[in-house]
Amino acid sequence: MLKKLISLCLFLNLIITGGVVHANSVSSEQDSTPSVTDLIGSQESYGVSASHPRAVEVGMKVLENGGNAADAAIAVSYTLSVVEPFASGIGGGGQMLLIPPKTNKPVVYDYRVQATSDKKRGSKKSGVPGFVKGMDAIHRDYGSKPFAELISPAIDFAEKGVEVEQLLSERLTGAIQRMPVKDLPHFYPDKKPIKPGETLKQTELAKTLTKIKENGPNAFYKGEISESFIKAVPYVDKKDLEDYEIQKPEPVTGKLKEWTVYSASPPLTGVPLVQSLKLAEKMNIAETKGDEGRFTHLMTEISRVTKNDRIKEIGDPTFNKIDVDELVSDAHIEKLVDNISPSKISTVTEDDGENVNDSNTDTTHFVIVDKEGMMISATNTLSNFFGSGKYTDGYFINNATEHQFSTKKDSPNRYEPNKRPRSSTTPTILINGERAIGIGTPGGGRIPSVLAQVLARHLYLDESFEEAVRAKRFYGKDEYLYVEDGFPEEVKDDMRNRGYKVQAKHLSVYFGGIQALEVNKKEDTIYGIADLRRGGTWDSKGKNTYTVQKGDTLWIVANKYETSIDKIKNLNKLESTDLYPGQQLKIPEPGTSNTYTVVSGDTLYKISLKLDIPMSELRLANPQIENPQWIYPGEKLNVP
């Protein structure tokens, strides 16, 4: 009788969670992983990291006005749909990973695009969008501010206009062949892409968002907007829209030696990312520090074997039984290790049968943490940039059905009615006893590889978060290794000797654009990362960091914050005084006298050039120096 009862409970659990088995999951009561609230403590800090400055401003304002991370996430999502209409919007979907305050049990909201109820895929491009219902569900469960207040900034940006950034103009240029240019005079004035610096107004989108503001999701799924959608995409019928439901699957959870990783649920790429980090640990990737060729090869091999595993094992869990715990178990990692070539390229690559354009680079990712310790990591997308290119009621419609299902009949990702296709988006949160990191990136099929590279550098090679993000990236596919501009020549030669065909990719966003926030209990800070490849930014309350501007020197920054050059150098582990625009500097407490420590080879003249301070001012500030040549390594100089 007891066995029957246990079997029944397991069966019911399988129904509730779709086809994902989490038999070995550790309950939050047994788990020693702290909550983000534990790490924030009493500092009442909060922050936002996103790919567009207007979105960061909106999110921060919501938090400043007493809203929580869920409120800010809704406001940021709608704002990004306006200021980056190529990357996300109400015609697409996404997935949001949310850790509520005072708990280490994360929640996932899956509002991704779903196939229609039609049994045949045919030439369909688009699926049923989930964005609007997703935002509504998150608001109902965790929102504290009125929805109208949260969507209003996006409506204002659409109506009054927003300054066009370089990336939007470039994306309009790249998509011109598949866009209804004549119907988009606001995007293509005189049939040419709008230029950076000009103002983009989207009055039709403002009207659509106003209807959603006034009538909620029914405006999109049942009202006039739905009728326009069906007219634009006739193979989606009224019932498809009305029946769409968001899902709340369990995240993928992985235990590293010092971290707990929560990542995107299937059919997204949380499993490959957790596998990649566990493989990096298993293969002791830390030993590759200082050997970029070996690091590049092993991480490329790890990316290959995890992708192959994903192709064989991962699909929509509603249609496939997936034992997630088994796929990230130590025993399974051991099996994957056997498929990794330690020194030479492997050429065994599974055919996924998918029609994904390798040039796809666009989704949008953001991370938010509030003063109560709720942390959110979310990725929204239209699939390709501008989705299918179809445009109605002021927004673009996704092309998830065209690009993301497999054509192979035996694939777990084959097309089926009402199914959600695989996606490479990977919203992730990592936590240990001292820190919590929310992280993600756009970048198409390269997303799990990019995240694994950055995290492996930071967690195992002891590189600072900023160094790990700045490091030149790579991506292996079949016999090719695609590398970023500026990739070291000696490493390219090493990779050729290992059997790779090395090719440069000149588009920086091809390799993603990391957005991240780190809560650091020991330093009592919230620190952000905004990848310059995508032009993102971040902000936090009590932000004790500074973004370097063109023309800045350490002297300028130290004076600005009334601290010392030495303290800035030591806190940021700077090996030189050289700065670059966009660099993030942690700022020490103010009120410290400004000093510089002499290093070997320094002269007063060299120091004046280094700090961009007239030598006469240095002499006045250091009357103890009788002769400019009489300075010695370790000596402290006052800096005016």
Residue numbers annotated as active site? 363
Place of tokens 């009402």: 418
With vertex at residue 31, the alpha carbon angle to CA 27 and CA 33, rounded to the nearest 5 degrees, is 130
Give the burial class of 266: count Cβ atoms within 10 A of its Cβ; 0-12 exposed, 13-18 middle, 19 or more buried.
buried
The Cα 261–Cα 323 span in angstroms is 17
Which tokens is 494 given? 């090493």
The Cα 340–Cα 338 span in angstroms is 6
- Report the residue count for the chain: 640
Strand partners, 94: 380
The Cα 298–Cα 224 span in angstroms is 53
* Phi, psi of 81, rounded to the nearest 5 degrees: -65, -20
Place of tokens 């107004």: 201
In 3D space, the residue among 250, 258, 251 whose CA is nearest the CA of residue 278 turns out to be 258
The Cα 97–Cα 378 span in angstroms is 6
The Cα 108–Cα 171 span in angstroms is 30
Tell me how far CA of residue 317 lies from CA of 271, 277, 411, 446, in angstroms: 13, 23, 13, 22
What's the helix, strand, coil split of the chain in %, to 5?
40, 15, 45
3-class SS of residue 286 = helix
Residue type, 550: K
Asked if the bond preceding 267 is cis, omega within 30° of 0, the reply is: yes
Contact 106, 407 (CB under 8 A): no
Torsion of CA 607, 608, 613, 619, to 10 degrees: 100
Which tokens is 74 given? 């809704």
With vertex at residue 599, the alpha carbon angle to CA 596 and CA 603, rounded to the nearest 5 degrees, is 85
CA 506 vs. chain centroid, Å, equals: 21
